[in-house]
Amino acid sequence: MKYLILLSLLSLESYAATSSIKFTAKTNGPGIEVEGEVQNPIVSMDFNKMEGTNFSADVMNLSTGMEKRDKHLHEKVFSATNNGMAKIDFTILKMSCPTSANSEVECDCIGNLKIKDLSNEIKFKALVNKTNKVVSGKALVSLNQFKLTAPTFMGISVLDNVEVTFNVSAK
């Protein structure tokens, strides 16, 4: 039994170094988009069995490139001032890919996204490149759905849907 657990753990691959997870939040102000990234995400992925792929990050690792804006994001949106106070966790529950000889296929995905203590299923499409072992795509996350207060600053407010783009490489 111990051997099986060890084997299954070894079969999982962590690709923090080759993962890129970014987000873009549109606002009600013209010409203003808030862009950011998840720094040092922890991604566990078995490329041969994508269901169960997991990504997690502490909200303190969300960065928009501006110190004060990050502080607002952590404190006002996620009520977090230190590591460990709020986490984002995502797991792929189902992934349907067409049978194709092409190296790149578009798959329909259903995943479970947990932000702080609230979980919701989200649907999105992912592009899987079998040759390069890369999974990429975009997903929309509704702030309302996760009971997150849309950040507002001096009359400019972030719109409800935040676009998350990801690119995870198994190489």
Partner 1 sequence: MKSSFALIVFAWISISFNSQDAYAYPTYIRLGYNSCIGCHYNPAGGGMLTPYGKGISSTQSLKSSELSDEEEEKLSHAKYLQAFQARILDYKTPTKNRIFPMEAEYLARMDFSKEWKVNLSVDVAPRPDNVDPKDAPKDYQRVYARIAEVNYYQNNNHSYFLGISPLPLGLGLVDHTDFVRANNRLQITDIPINFRSFGFFEKYTLNYFLYLPHYLELKGNQEKGLGGQFWYLWNKNISFGPQVLVGKTDTIKRELVGVLLKAGLNEYSYLGEANYTHRKINPDHNQFGQWTYYNQFTYHPNDWFNIAYAFQGIKKDRDFESSETRHSLMFQGKLFRAFTLMYESRLRHVNSSNEVSHLLQGFIQWW
Output 25 or 43, the one with its CB closest to partner 1.
25
Output 76 or 116, the one with its CB closest to partner 1.
76
Stretch that binds partner 1, among 65-73, 74-82, 89-97, 137-145 (CB under 8 A): 65-73
Output 72 or 133, the one with its CB closest to partner 1.
72
Burial of 50 (0-12, 13-18, 19+ CB in 10 A): middle
Q: Which of 7, 10, 48, 68 binds partner 1 (CB under 8 A)?
A: 68
Q: For 111, what's the count of Cα atoms within 13 Å in the CB-facing half-sphere?
A: 26
- The helix/strand/coil state of 80 is coil
153 binds partner 1 (CB under 8 A): yes
Q: Shortest Cβ distance from residue 136 to partner 1 (Å)?
A: 15
Question: How does strand 62-63 pair with strand 42-46?
Answer: unpaired
163 in Cβ contact with 21 (< 8 Å): no
What is the pattern of x (binds partner 1, CB under 8 A) and - over residues 12-51? ------------x---xxxxxxxx----------------
Q: Shortest Cβ distance from residue 69 to partner 1 (Å)?
A: 8
Q: For 106, what's the count of Cα atoms within 13 Å in the CB-facing half-sphere?
A: 4
What is the phi/psi pair of residue 10, to 5°? -70, -30
> Which two three-digit tokens encode residue 37?
């990234």
Chain contacts with partner 1 (rule: CB under 8 A): 24, 28-35, 64-69, 153-156
